[in-house]
């Protein structure tokens, strides 16, 4: 099996690489700097330089994957910020968040999905419970809320164009990473082990809450009951 992880230099992405390699799978993974690439190579992955926030960097992704059959692809790359709705976001802050969390995914999707279709595989996008529009209680991480809701919409809208690939939206939980902070209850290895189990189980099961046949799930496989 060939696994492709976009955004794998640290945290959840790096743990995905580690666990799939430990399971004996072939892994291609991206990082945006030499330190990240070195970490991936040291684990035994095929490392690929990619910065999802830079359109010029991501524009050549398809030809780098030419001829591949990707059984499982992950879009993990993303950024987080705490700002709330008490003040307007700066253009720089908004652009940074939307480029990494939405535009990067939208640019990667049509370049990666055809190779996922070649394997009749799965394309997993790490989203968040912050993407839910129902039940929002406050504006903490205001722009992040918006970016993840937009990511969900982008994936749902794209699924019909790639009928032999299965798209999944998965919230990894609150994970103890640089983004999640040391206060998070889930360890990366716990979240990733559960995600891998959920993805494998969904290979032949599309039941549960979905929109446009794209399941919106938690790391443990439970489905959100609304968007």
Q: How many domains does the chain have?
A: 1
Instruction: Confirm whether 35 is domain-assigned.
Output: yes
pTM above 0.85, yes or no: yes
Instruction: Confirm whether 205 is domain-assigned.
Output: yes
Instruction: Confirm whether 40 is domain-assigned.
Output: yes
Please state the φ and ψ torsions of residue 14, each to the nearest 5 degrees.
Answer: -65, -35
Instruction: Confirm whether 197 is domain-assigned.
Output: yes
- Span 57-115, pLDDT tens digits: 999 899 999 999 999 999 998 888 878 889 899 999 999 999 999 999 999 999 999 99
Instruction: Confirm whether 227 is domain-assigned.
Output: no
Identify the CATH number of the domain in which residue 110 sits: 3.40.50.720
């Amino acid at each position: 099996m060939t696994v492709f992880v976009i955004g794998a230099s640290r945290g959840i992405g790096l743990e995905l690489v580690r666990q799939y390699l430990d399971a004996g799978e072939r892994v291609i993974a991206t990082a945006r700097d030499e330190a990240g690439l070195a970490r991936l190579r040291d684990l035994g992955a095929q490392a690929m330089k990619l910065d999802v926030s830079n359109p010029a960097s991501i524009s050549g992704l398809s030809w780098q994957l030419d001829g591949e059959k990707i059984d499982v692809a992950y879009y993990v790359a993303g950024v987080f910020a705490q700002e709330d709705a008490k003040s307007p976001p700066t253009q720089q802050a908004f652009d940074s968040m939307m480029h990494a969390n939405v535009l990067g995914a939208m640019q990667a999707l049509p370049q990666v999905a055809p190779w996922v279709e070649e394997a009749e595989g799965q394309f997993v996008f790490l989203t968040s419970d912050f993407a839910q529009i129902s039940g929002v209680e406050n504006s903490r991480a205001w722009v992040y809320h918006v970016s993840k809701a937009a990511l969900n919409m982008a994936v749902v809208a794209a699924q019909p164009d790639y009928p032999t690939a299965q798209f999944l939206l998965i919230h990894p939980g609150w994970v103890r990473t640089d983004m999640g902070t040391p206060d998070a209850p889930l360890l990366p290895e716990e979240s990733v082990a559960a995600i891998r189990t959920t993805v494998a189980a969904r290979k032949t099961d599309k039941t549960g809450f979905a929109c446009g046949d794209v399941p919106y799930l938690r790391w443990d496989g439970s489905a959100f009951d609304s968007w």
